[in-house]
Amino acid sequence: MIKKLLFLLTFIPLTTLAQFSDDFEDGDISNWTQSVVGHWAASITSPISGTYSVQQVFNSAADSRDQISIELPIMDLTAQTVVWRFRVKHGYDPSSANNWGIFLTSSSNAEGMFSGGTANGYVLGVNYSGSDDSLRLWKVINGTGTKVLTTSINWQTQVGIALAPAIEVVKSKDGLWQIRVDINGSFSSLTLVGEGTDNSYSYSDYFGIYYKYSLSQDLKLWFDELSIETYDTISPFITSLNVKTSGNIEIAFNEKMDSVSLLNTLNYFVDGSIGNPDSVSLNTSDFKTVNLFFNEKLNNEQEYQIQVQNCEDLKKNSIIDTILNFTYEYIKPLNLEITSSNELTVTFSRETDISSAENPMNYFLNNGANNPQSATIITNDSSKVLLEFSNNFINRTYYNLSIQDVADRNQDTMLNADLSFLYFIPQPNDIVINEILADPTPEVNLPGYEYVEIFNTTPFDIDITGWEIKIGATEKTLTSYVLDSASYLILCNSSAIDDLSLYGDVLEISSFPTISNSGTTITLSKPDNTQISTVSFSTEWYNDNNKVDGGWSIERIDPLNNCSGINNWRASVDANGGTPGTVNSVYATNIDNIPPTIQSSEVISANQLRITYNEVVDSLTALIKSNYSVNESIGIPASIVLSADLKQVDLEFTNQFPENLNMVLTITNISDLCGNTQALEDVNFSYYIIQPYDILINEIMADPEPVVYMPEYEYIEIFNTTAYNISLSGWTLAVGSTIRTFPSYTIEPNAYLILCSDESYLLYSEYGNTIVVTGFPSLTNSGQTITLRNKESKVISSVSYSDSWYKNVMKADGGWSLEQIDPYNPCGGESNWLASENSNGGTPCQQNSVFSTNPDNNAPELLRIGFLNDTTIQVYFNESIDSISTMQLSNYEVDNSVGYPESISLIGPTYQSVLLNFNNPFLSSIIYTLEITGVTDCTGNEIGTKNSAQFSKPVSPELNDIVINEILFNPRSEGFDFIELYNRSQKTIDLNDLRITAFDNILGDFSSVNDISESSFLFMPGEYLVLTEDPSVVQNQYYTPNSYGFVELSSMPSYNDDAGKAILLDNLGNVIDNMEYTNDMHFALLSTTDGVSLERLNYDRPANDISNWHSASELVGFATPAYENSQFKELAETEDKIKVNPEVFSPDNDGFEDVVDIQLLFDVPGFVANIKIFDSRGRQVKLLANNLLLGIENTITWDGLTDTNRKTPNGIYIIYIEVFDLKGNVKDYRKPVVVAEKY
């Protein structure tokens, strides 16, 4: 290999400017840059010499300046002497307003060449700075001049306006400036007029001229005979030495050289008996490089000196005698790479000779490998040779490769060499997961970070770069690292590096995966997915309940035992809580002598079984079919699949299992990785097809606070009602919209199972069978829907609970579970659930404290029908219905020639509604009747008399099609507001298109706009419907014969107790009805209005007529939700223009004739009425109306009270009615009425 120069001479940058000149005789200055184009020219006007001189030619209308410049080749002012020569003529006496400067060097072009400009460089001129007319040299920094030297020339007195002096400026490489001038313009008669020193600038980019003039002094500067030259006096030097072969040395110089001196062999001499070269060749393409050829070969790795002298450049500058040290290395192997299990790639120090490099006899590998069967130079890289051997290398073996007689391309042959290598391919458990800190809090003495420690069990260093660590479902790639033999390494998050590095070697893993406190699977794999170490731990692996709560790691007892699982792990006993980076505190020899046992079994199909072992099993024994056999003529499996973790075996049989029959799987001869063999073992199983309600949601702890005696965590208890083992593998738990997947688990016959969070697992496991549902959903205190689905997504159990199910106000506040009364009545809903009566607050994993026989003997009922489109309706039932009977098409029939449905869809998870799709479309304005027969609930009760309902195609409502008919805005304690609607039209209207709202008088806008129904809800003509947040409470507080006439709203608008507005809107915001109320509208003699509704007397009368509203009768309990109002009064039909109805009434709020209606009928509108009530003695007791503007038909109601809100005594009263119009027509009427009292 070539050894480079042991020392380097200092590089001196070279100038590319040998000479530049311009006499402008071609009349072209297009290669010059003007500050303003056209202000300079090669002019024939009064030239300095010849035909042309450069002249400022712009006739300016004001004081100004002009510049012109040319870009120069690179010129290093500190490398050689530079000489500028030129002539200048100024046709006006210089002053501060009229002056000029020659920029010898400048960093900027013409645009920056002026006093105050941007240029940096050197300027020779007159009055560039100052006004004494002397010829000076300035150093310019950002346009500002600093004097370098002042000549003895005063331009005005010695030169004047007619002469064009010859000027020579010389700068040495050391910074000495000399100015020579001949005022008569002769360069052969120059006189030194000034010297100065400055070496601030090394390089020059531009040369230029600057001219400043006043208004009338433009056109008076000429310039000519420019030349710039450099003088080379620097000795050449060597830039590189390259020993190309054992007989060829290449030398490169810094510049073009004289060929005669370079080809003289006596100018080169190598010591060590090599001497002068026998020949020299010159590279004529650059005249800088020579190759020296020697007959005597250089020795391998011997240090030599070469002396170079008398070599000259083109300027006859001779090289300083130079001695360079060098060493020549023959070709040799640098390294080898294991390419495959029987291939090596050897890399040599230089390109190899094909013949010798590809000769297999030049390579020999010990340990029986011998010569390779082939040696091949790698394509595109002849310094590498691929060796292929007949046999694979032996793992964990050290090899020595001997190489000889390989030459390079110059036929220099290597010396014999040996390369050693270890063939080692990491195998499973060469590195083991040795310690895990899953729950670092509360801290013991270790930093509060999770970590995984791995341990190299081998005597070899192992490169783990690119390996994968998988924790749970999250996989991370390890960065570059070599794990030393018998060494530990801590894997942790970036944030833990500083703290954990105090304990040992640490490898950072960005976004280190979270390790579940309850346990997970951790796997270390190579890039080819070979699993090196796997640990599937749980909290049981601590083997110490006092350390499960956090702060303690779990440690492997024996790193060489890789098959014992939980039996080879336990919590750390170190006082710090763990031993990261060092030998485990629980380390001991721990030989596994225990055979594998079956952890669980599962029937996964009609002919498949899944067996899960407690530890990793040997794949050879696990895949032997004869090791498994099922009775009942099923026999051995047809195929076996072993899981990737080697713990789970799936057996598939040719014959299907008979249903509901107890069978036996016999297993024998299964071994673990430690060679322990399982004795013959029988597994009992049954093939049972899971049905809805086989597994039930049986107990719910939704609100554990305040704690009674149960743990302060939510849970759900499920119950297996069957006589069969049922696998929950692949099942899901849905709470509201949150869905979680069950872990693998088999629930035994008639057994209970607690579902809970990771944090509460240990607490609830003390009560019985418990599993963690990862990400256990939060249970809403007020209620929601919980659904269990099997792995086929079939709903098995669903409960939509609410806090009303407690039926105990105190227990609904928290700390008590909801328990199912009768698990064999799974569709009982609220009637089958109660708050726990156990003193602990619940009964997880045991029979419920409220357990009792509570059969469902009630037939399901049809609640209502929703309209989806012209061929589809949705039918709603009051309870869950049986899926088989529900799907029978003939169980549904619609009249008016529609017939049976074409298809049926059962809606889960509660199964309380179905979609019916028909062939014949439903027509507008026709009311249809659906009749249902044969449908049963989940306990087999067949639908009874409540089996039909009407529906029709809904239409959009118009004003007063639906009216607000009753309102309770001041409910009783624990009660709820409600609004009763009445459909007074002949239209079917969909409540899905309506909104109920209140009105904010301060904001002047609607407030709390609420949808009435999220799904189609048909409101048939003449029906009453109540809107409220809790229908059950309203129905408990008030009698109603129409329990299905209620619509539950998730939220009602807020209606104040004193006054407010209730407004019904359509989905476009149009008002359908608007009722404004005040508490004063109640019957004045009521002792309290709490819990008393306001009833509309007649739905055909306006809502804004306050006389059309009255307190509900006391006899009906002060409200009539969902049926006809107690104060309802039909409008009497009469031909009389004035009518009193009834003529006898009793204002005692008993709901019977509590008010009297005064009806006024006119042929034309525009009448105004005054109505007064007089007693039998002629005294006025009530002013009922004063200047009341009337319409055609009018009804005014009197409630029997006086102006002072006192009840009138029994007796006869006269209603005096005076009406008049704007034409002066006046009429009066007197009508008697009797106030009576019932006995």
List, for residues 157-206, the tens digit of each pLDDT value: 999 999 999 999 999 888 999 999 999 999 999 999 999 999 999 888 89
Instruction: Band the pLDDT of 7: cuts 50, 70, 90.
Output: very low
Query: Over 50: is that where the pLDDT of 2 sits?
Result: no
Instruction: Band the pLDDT of 10: cuts 50, 70, 90.
Output: very low
Query: Over 80: is that where the pLDDT of 1222 sits?
Result: no
> Would you state the pLDDT for residue 283?
95
| 3 state DSSP class of 1135 | coil
Q: How far is CA 509 from CA 502, 534, 554, in A?
A: 17, 18, 20
Helix, strand and coil in the chain, % to nearest 5: 5, 40, 50
Secondary structure letter of residue 967 according to DSSP: E
| C-alpha 904 chain-centroid distance | 41
Closest C-alpha among 311, 326, 357 to residue 244: 326
Q: Pick left, alpha or beta for residue 410 (phi over 0 → left; psi -120 to 50 → alpha; otherwise beta).
A: alpha
Q: Which residue has the tokens 């014959």?
A: 655
Q: Interior CA angle at 695 toward 689 and 699, to 5°?
A: 180
Paired strand residues for 1108:
none
Residues 548-587: pLDDT tens digits?
999 999 999 999 998 788 889 999 999 999 999 999 999 9
- Which residue did the predictor score with more confidence, 1085 or 530? 530
Residue type (1 letter), 754: I
In this structure, the strands spanning 238-245 and 417-423 are unpaired
Closest C-alpha among 862, 867, 920 to residue 891: 862
For residues 690 and 796, is the Cβ–Cβ distance under 8 A? yes
Query: Over 80: is that where the pLDDT of 1136 sits?
Result: no
Q: Quickly list DSSP for 1062-1086.
A: EEEEETTS-EEEEEEEEGGGS-TT-
| Segment among 395-399, 767-771, 814-818, 1230-1234 with least mean pLDDT | 1230-1234
In this structure, the strands spanning 1144-1145 and 1226-1235 are parallel
Instruction: Band the pLDDT of 1132: cuts 50, 70, 90.
Output: low
Closest C-alpha among 993, 982, 1010 to residue 866: 993
Secondary structure of 551-603 in HEC code, one letter for each residue: CCCEEECCCCCCCCHHHHEEECCCCCCCCCCCCCCCCCCCCCCCCCCEEEEEE
Q: How far is CA 340 from CA 394, 395, 1155, in A?
A: 12, 12, 106
Closest C-alpha among 586, 551, 581, 580 to residue 444: 551
Q: Which residue has the tokens 């479902």?
A: 473
> Would you state the pLDDT for residue 1131?
66
Q: Which residue has the tokens 């609410």?
A: 802
For residues 292 and 324, is the Cβ–Cβ distance under 8 A? no
Secondary structure of 118-132 in HEC code, one letter for each residue: CCCEEEEEECCCCCC
Instruction: Band the pLDDT of 9: cuts 50, 70, 90.
Output: very low
Average pLDDT rounded to a whole number, residues 940-962? 93
Helices (H), 623-736: none
Q: Rounded to the nearest 5°, which phi and psi values hold at 1037?
A: -90, -20
Secondary structure letter of residue 891 according to DSSP: G
How many CA within 13 A on the CB side of residue 1063? 18
Residues 1196-1221: pLDDT tens digits?
999 899 988 888 999 989 899 999 88
Average pLDDT, the chain: 91
Closest C-alpha among 1188, 1027, 983, 1161 to residue 1106: 1188
In this structure, the strands spanning 381-388 and 343-348 are antiparallel
Instruction: State the Cα–Cα distance between residues 553 and 330, nearest whole angstrom.
Output: 58
Closest C-alpha among 493, 465, 510, 552 to residue 501: 493
Two structure tokens written together for 553: 């790691």
Closest C-alpha among 431, 426, 451 to residue 562: 431
Q: What whole-number percentage of the chain has pLDDT above 70?
A: 98
All structural domains of the chain: 19-231 (2.60.120.200), 238-297+304-327 (2.60.40.1220), 333-423 (2.60.40.1220), 431-571 (2.60.40.1260), 598-686 (2.60.40.1220), 695-835 (2.60.40.1260), 862-951 (2.60.40.1220), 954-1128 (2.60.40.1260), 1131-1239 (2.60.40.2550)
Paired strand residues for 629:
666
Q: What is the largest CA-CA distance in the chain?
A: 161
Two structure tokens written together for 983: 């459909």
Query: Over 90: is that where the pLDDT of 389 sits?
Result: yes
> Would you state the pLDDT for residue 1135?
53
Q: Interior CA angle at 753 toward 883 and 733, to 5°?
A: 50
Strands, E assignment, 288-342? 289-293, 303-308, 322-327, 333-340
Q: Rounded to the nearest 5°, which phi and psi values hold at 826?
A: -70, -15
Q: Rounded to the nearest 5°, which phi and psi values hold at 662?
A: -70, 125
Closest C-alpha among 868, 941, 939 to residue 907: 868
Q: How far is CA 1025 from CA 956, 1012, 1113, in A?
A: 18, 11, 19
Q: Which residue has the tokens 């105090």?
A: 502
Instruction: Band the pLDDT of 15: cuts 50, 70, 90.
Output: very low
Instruction: Band the pLDDT of 645: cuts 50, 70, 90.
Output: confident
Instruction: State the Cα–Cα distance between residues 653 and 638, nearest whole angstrom.
Output: 5
Two structure tokens written together for 248: 């060829």
Instruction: Band the pLDDT of 1239: cuts 50, 70, 90.
Output: low
Instruction: State the Cα–Cα distance between residues 277 and 34, nearest whole angstrom.
Output: 58
Instruction: State the Cα–Cα distance between residues 428 and 525, nearest whole angstrom.
Output: 9
Instruction: State the Cα–Cα distance between residues 436 and 580, nearest whole angstrom.
Output: 9
Q: Which residue has the tokens 């086989």?
A: 694
Query: Over 60: is that where the pLDDT of 1099 sits?
Result: yes
Q: Pick left, alpha or beta for residue 747 (phi over 0 → left; psi -120 to 50 → alpha; otherwise beta).
A: beta
Average pLDDT rounded to a whole number, residues 484-495? 96
Two structure tokens written together for 1183: 């002013």
Instruction: State the Cα–Cα distance between residues 686 and 695, nearest whole angstrom.
Output: 16
Instruction: State the Cα–Cα distance between residues 280 and 265, nearest whole angstrom.
Output: 6
| Segment among 94-108, 620-634, 878-892 with least mean pLDDT | 878-892
Q: What whole-number percentage of the chain has pLDDT above 90?
A: 75
Paired strand residues for 148:
none
